[in-house]
Amino acid sequence: MLGPVLLVSMDGSILFLAMPTITHALAPTADQALWILDVYGFAVGSLLIAFGNLGDRFGRLKLLTVGVIVFGVGSVGAAFSPSPDWLVGSRALMGLGGATLLPSALAVLSELFGNPRQRSQAIGIFAATFATGFAVGPVVGGLLLARFPWGSVFLVNLPVVLIFLAVAPFVLRETRATRPGTVDLRSIVLSAGGLLAAVYAIKELAAHGPSWSVAGSGVVGVLALAWFVLRQRQLEHPLVDVRLFGERVFTVAIITGVLSLFAWSAAAYLTGIYLQSVLGLPVLAAALLALPGAAVLTTTCIMTPRVTERIGGRSALVLCHFSMAAGLALLLATTITGGIGWFVASTVVAGVGYGISFALVADTAVAAVPSSRAGSAGAIAETSNEIGNALGIALLGSAAALIFRLAGPDVAPTLDETLDLGLAAGVVDQAKAAFLTGMHVAVSIAALLCTGLGLLALRWIPKPGRRRAS
């Protein structure tokens, strides 16, 4: 069961280092390249809640199996895409399959382990697998591109897909909610459509500035989500139990889920360009430098449940936020002539915070609800990660690009395009410095947000044994 989870998370980051090769092969426009990178996360994030509920109602193993098949078909389509639009569509199909996998897998896992301690440890392993996928995605992409064509970054999914389909019917049992109620299709449409419209508006605003289409999409998204929330309060069997957000620890944990991937995805994407285009490292060397941070992140995920038992959820959340902020701040020491040591140190320190976030958010979400709502609760946690992942690149990546356009030599819209022109050394240095400034601005924003949420957790979440004021 952990195999598909690893693939879903890995495909959220595997293109960070593969995009230059794909761009050379398919020649997408700037907008198409952005959609190739982002549409997977948008699709997963927009549909997780809906599919988590459907798994609760109709059977989680059944939905998990269908999701694996859809994910495999999308992977084949992506690997042999003849055009950028075909690749965008295939990535969207992969996102559709991925949205069925994560909440169903988490819910099945919670059913397999009835003991709270064992369940917490199992969810920690689940979270570690999910986090490892994100962390090693660029590494796997670099290893494959060093030997095989670009389609291999998608075909690598097929062995795991086939093994799961062959083994799952014999080792996993079907689970579903004991009182499923009825399926509210209107809520499913409102949640998926509202999230997609709102995220699309934010991405387009960050990338291209305001327009009537962006404003219209944003208004539709906000109104749909507001209607969705109001409707959940009226339903006997809501798609999302919005009352969960009345618990402060749960709310801060979900915000942490958004912010951790918001910061991680932007930092991973921008530092990938920094290592290759500014420092001139080969793609494989750049990918391997991320391994220490990935190891720390994975280990922290596994250890977090035990650490939380000793120090409490409040202290764990605070440590998470300040670790991420400190790690991101270390990137401010990088220069156009050196910074490998600072990069590795950054991934190691921030990896502690990311690991705590990935483990704690999922455990908090599932532990806060009955097992019959585990799929929906898990979907909220995973949605926070996927939305954060998509927004990190869209917003912080666009902020860095804007700084480059303002401070760069103004001969091309991106650093890589500027370097390809074969300009004088002084112009190249100016372009690299402009990119580095944009990266520093982006990670500074992320570090400040992490610090702010850490202070909020200190002030908002009561200490153990202290009763919260009514």
Give the residue-averaged pLDDT of 278-304.
85
> Does residue 121 have a pLDDT over 80?
no
Residues 461-469: contacts with CB under 8 Å, at least 24 apart? 461/248, 461/249, 461/252, 461/313, 461/314, 461/317, 462/248, 462/314, 463/314, 464/312, 464/314, 468/248
Q: Which DSSP string corresponds to 393-441?
A: IIIIHHHHHHHHHHHS-SSSSSHHHHHTT---HHHHHHHHHHHHHHHHH
pLDDT class of 470 with cuts at 50, 70, 90 = very low
Helix 374-391 / helix 30-58 crossing angle, nearest 10 deg:
170
CA 302 to chain centre: 19
Provide the pLDDT for residue 173.
59
CA 322 to chain centre: 20
> Does residue 452 have a pLDDT over 80?
yes
Q: Which DSSP string corresponds to 154-200?
A: HHTTHHHHHHHHHHHHHH------SS-----HHHHHHHHHHHHHHHH
465 burial type by CB count under 10 A (0-12 exposed, 13-18 middle, 19+ buried): exposed
Per domain, the residue ranges of the chain are: 2-184+235-460, 185-234
Provide the pLDDT for residue 441.
96
Helix 374-391 / helix 185-208 crossing angle, nearest 10 deg:
10
Question: By mean pLDDT, which of 82-91, 191-200, 328-337, 349-358 is the weakest?
Answer: 191-200
> Does residue 288 have a pLDDT over 60?
yes
Q: In this prediction, what percent of the chain has a pLDDT beyond 90?
A: 22
d(C-alpha 97, C-alpha 329), whole Å: 36
Question: By mean pLDDT, which of 60-69, 179-188, 280-289, 290-299 is the weakest?
Answer: 179-188
Question: By mean pLDDT, which of 210-224, 377-391, 409-423, 449-463 is the weakest?
Answer: 377-391
Provide the pLDDT for residue 256.
87
Q: Using an 8 Å Cβ cutoff, are 258 and 384 in contact?
A: yes
Cα-Cα end-to-end distance for the chain = 42
Provide the pLDDT for residue 178.
52
pLDDT class of 331 with cuts at 50, 70, 90 = very high
Give the residue-averaged pLDDT of 55-63.
70
> Does residue 322 have a pLDDT over 80?
yes
Q: Quick one: which of 346, 245, 248, 360 has its CA closest to 302?
A: 360
> Does residue 344 have a pLDDT over 60?
yes
> Does residue 401 have a pLDDT over 70?
yes
Q: Which DSSP string corresponds to 326-383?
A: HHHHHGGG--SS--HHHHHHHHHHHHHHHHHHHHHHHHHHHHTS-GGGHHHHHHHHHH
What Cα–Cα distance (Å) separates residue 223 from each residue in 198, 209, 217, 311? Answer: 9, 21, 10, 41
Give the residue-averaged pLDDT of 210-224.
91
Structure tokens belonging to residue 71: 């994910």
Provide the pLDDT for residue 79.
92
More confident residue, 468 or 62: 62
d(C-alpha 361, C-alpha 365), whole Å: 6
243 burial type by CB count under 10 A (0-12 exposed, 13-18 middle, 19+ buried): exposed
pTM: 0.80
Provide the pLDDT for residue 233.
85
pLDDT tens per residue across span 20-45: 778 778 877 766 777 787 788 777 77
pLDDT class of 468 with cuts at 50, 70, 90 = very low
- Fold designation for 2-184+235-460: Growth Hormone; Chain: A; (1.20.1250)
pLDDT tens per residue across span 124-179: 677 677 777 877 787 788 778 878 888 998 998 888 888 888 887 776 655 555 54
Provide the pLDDT for residue 342.
96
Provide the pLDDT for residue 467.
45
d(C-alpha 197, C-alpha 174), whole Å: 34
- Taking residue 63's Cβ as centre, other Cβ atoms within 10 Å add up to 26
d(C-alpha 214, C-alpha 222), whole Å: 12
Q: In this prediction, what percent of the chain has a pLDDT beyond 70?
A: 82
pLDDT class of 257 with cuts at 50, 70, 90 = confident
Structure tokens belonging to residue 140: 């796997």
More confident residue, 187 or 413: 187
Q: Which amino acid, residue 211?
A: S
- Kindly report the three-state secondary structure assignment for every residue of 69-125: HHHHHHHHHHHCCCCHHHHHHHHHHHHHHHHHHHHHHHHHHHHHCCCHHHHHHHHHH
pLDDT class of 205 with cuts at 50, 70, 90 = confident
Provide the pLDDT for residue 347.
94
- Taking residue 122's Cβ as centre, other Cβ atoms within 10 Å add up to 18
Provide the pLDDT for residue 451.
95
Look up residue 247 and give its DSSP letter. Answer: S
Q: Using an 8 Å Cβ cutoff, are 413 and 220 in contact?
A: no
